[in-house]
Amino acid sequence: MASDKFPELERVIRRRTFLRFAATGTALTALGGGTYVLASTDDPRAKERRPDGRPRLPPGQRILDALKPMGGEPGDPSPSAFRLRVHGACDNPLNLDFAALLALPQTEQTCDVHCVTGWSVLGSKWTGVRVAELAKLAKVHDSARHVIFEAAYGYTANVRIAEALAPTVLVAHKHEGNPLTRPHGPPARALVPDLYFWKSAKWLTGIRFVKNDQPGYWETRGYHNHADPWNSERYG
Ligand SMILES: Nc1nc2c(c(=O)[nH]1)N[C@H]1C(S)=C(S)[C@@H](COP(=O)(O)O)O[C@H]1N2
Ligand SMILES: [Mo]
């Protein structure tokens, strides 16, 4: 083949072939840690629609089969050290230990999560207590407009109250039927499935209801204040 003598041409041909594979969805994507994923165009779930009519896979996302540990300053994982303050604009602030969290009504759900770095996990199973349930117990004031999730070492994430009170938003303590593993925020984390995953604070220590918005850790570092994956609200 003539390209033996023309390495530059060979490179062009290889690149064309790669692009053709990518277009038909047979490309492999290399991720850190030796993980490869089939391009999402091969996964039929990428073409599904949600009950709300939105595409199951938000724009620019590819499908991973498991959560990728994204780091952060870990808090104390032991249930015995856990305290969750539910506070701010409410009449009945709460301070729950782990047993008290488990004594509240539990929700088990399967949902999709979407990381701003471009991966999504479809159909992950979570168990926890709805933030809406905690808000009801705390008698949150009508004037509250935002929820601030507070976590170890000062990590915070702000969510509009209507979105934080959606039935899919949990203080989650189980993932795929097991206690959260070390990188994923044990003993309990926030789970806000319909916003980019940075809003889902791991090693959760508090839920604060506020009237005035308070952009959190990533929101004050260039990320979008709202973080809707279907509007590609990645950067502010
Ligand atoms: N406390 C705390 N929570 C956090 C973070 C963090 O640094 N600290 N990182 C966020 C970001 S940027 C992402 S993408 C997700 C990652 O969750 P995972 O490691 O379980 O995939 O957690 C979010 N929650
Ligand atoms: Mo992230």
90 assigned to some structural domain: yes
37 assigned to some structural domain: no
Handedness of CA 104, 96, 205, 210 (dihedral sign): positive
What mean pLDDT comes out for the span 16-38?
47
List, for residues 161-171, the tens digit of each pLDDT value. 999 999 999 99
In which region does residue 24 sit, left (phi positive, over 0), alpha (psi from -120 to 50) or beta (all else)?
A: alpha
Domain count of the fold of the chain = 1
For residues 172 and 191, is the Cβ–Cβ distance under 8 A? yes
With a 6 Å cutoff on the Cβ, whether 184 touches ligand 1 is: yes
CATH number of the domain where residue 150 is located: 3.90.420.10
pLDDT at 75: 98
Q: Whose CA is nearest to atom 20 of ligand 1?
A: 184
34 assigned to some structural domain: no
183 assigned to some structural domain: yes
pLDDT grade for 101, boundaries at 50, 70 and 90: very high
Give me the domain span that covers residue 227.
Answer: 69-231
The closest-lying atom of ligand 1 relative to the alpha carbon of residue 69 is 19
DSSP β-ladder status, 62-64 and 119-130: parallel
Residues forming a β-bridge with 189: 172
Q: Chain-centre distance of CA 127, in angstroms?
A: 15
18 assigned to some structural domain: no
21 pLDDT above the threshold of 70 = no
pLDDT grade for 113, boundaries at 50, 70 and 90: very high
List, for residues 153-200, the tens digit of each pLDDT value. 999 999 999 999 999 999 999 999 999 999 999 999 999 999 999 999
What SS3 string covers 49-87?
ECCCCCECCCCCCEEECCCCCCCCCCCCCCHHHCEEEEE
What mean pLDDT comes out for the span 45-65?
96
What does the mean pLDDT of the chain come to?
89
17 assigned to some structural domain: no
Q: Which ligand is nearest to the CA of 175?
A: 1
Residue reference for tokens 């709805």: 130
Count CA atoms within 13 Å of residue 41 on its CB side.
11
98 assigned to some structural domain: yes
- Flag the least confident range among 4-8, 34-38, 104-108, 181-185: 4-8
With a 6 Å cutoff on the Cβ, whether 199 touches ligand 1 is: no
137 assigned to some structural domain: yes
The closest-lying atom of ligand 1 relative to the alpha carbon of residue 190 is 24
213 pLDDT above the threshold of 90 = yes
Residue whose C-alpha is closest to residue 200's, from 230, 229, 232: 229
With a 6 Å cutoff on the Cβ, whether 141 touches ligand 1 is: no
